[in-house]
Amino acid sequence: MIEAARVFTAVSDTPRLDAELLMAHALGISREALLLAHLDAPEPPGFAPLLARRLAHEPIAYITGTRAFWTIELAVGPGVLVPRADSETLIEAAIEHFGDPGAALRILDLGTGPGTLLLAALDQWPDAHGLGIDASDEALGYARRNAAALGSASRAVFRAGNWADGLSGEFDLILANPPYIGTAENLPEEVRAHEPDVALFAGPDGLADYRIIAPQLPALLAPGGAAILEIGSTQAVAVTALLDPAGFAVALRHDLGGNPRALIATHRT
């Protein structure tokens, strides 16, 4: 495993973590169990193929088939966006806005992918119910399987759709992590070569999907509610300018790295 961590320095910013996750996966145990009792375990035969896949820049989450996010574990694979820790900023912002763990929230997750934000929110608020929308049937399949595995299937509905087109009703919490990368921007090889373009790129300036979503939000957000959108680190001003004419007051929240990461839109009073 030490040698694996060494060679991973050529393809990863977290070589030791990658080696530990792949070794644990090859042994069929958790990373925690590996660190507690199996650090000296010999490499199993299945480890070498995993090593080769990572050296070819395949995301760790695709290799292991899982990704931890907030308080939940999600099944992921090719065809869906890998959940990022930065996106947890949206859940943190929602907790700051609503607070009460007993709140019976009505939640909408636009661009739900494998159910990332909706299922994390449902785990945070056990009395909440939610709707996840995505244009990808493959992503929706992952989302439904994740909901079932997490015991949230009775509280989560997933539908195919183009953002909020055709939706009606009001939601207390609207979450969205739309594509926000400009088509000419550089990305790490593991992202550009493996994750779905449709979940990454949004026109030359990365704002194409915000231009669709912003005007849809006022009719869907309940009084006292919050729409929380993930943004790229340079997009706060541009996306705020799209939300402002829709009648929203907008606040900015930074991620743990200090980068602008989420905009919290509430009805202007």
- 191 vs 57: CA distance, rounded Å: 8
| Residues 128-164 pLDDT 10s | 999 999 999 999 999 999 999 999 999 999 999 999 9
Cβ–Cβ < 8 Å for 173, 221 = no
Of 114, 50, 43, the C-alpha closest to 82 is: 114
User: To the nearest whole percent, how much of the chain has pLDDT over 70?
Assistant: 100
| Residues 233-265 pLDDT 10s | 999 999 999 999 999 999 999 999 999 999 999
Is 204 exposed, middle or buried, given 0-12, 13-18 or 19+ CB atoms closer than 10 A? exposed
Would you state the pLDDT for residue 14? Answer: 93
Query: Using alpha carbons only, how large is the chain's radius of gyration in Å?
Result: 19
121: pLDDT strictly greater than 90: yes
Domain annotation for the chain: domains and CATH numbers: 2-56 (no CATH), 78-267 (3.40.50.150)
| Residues 53-111 pLDDT 10s | 999 999 999 999 999 999 999 999 999 999 999 999 999 999 999 988 888 999 999 99
39: pLDDT strictly greater than 90: no
Cβ–Cβ < 8 Å for 205, 225 = no
pTM: predicted TM-score of the whole model, two decimal places: 0.94
Give the tokens for residue 118: 């909706």
Would you state the pLDDT for residue 2? Answer: 85
- 39 vs 1: CA distance, rounded Å: 8
Would you state the pLDDT for residue 207? Answer: 98
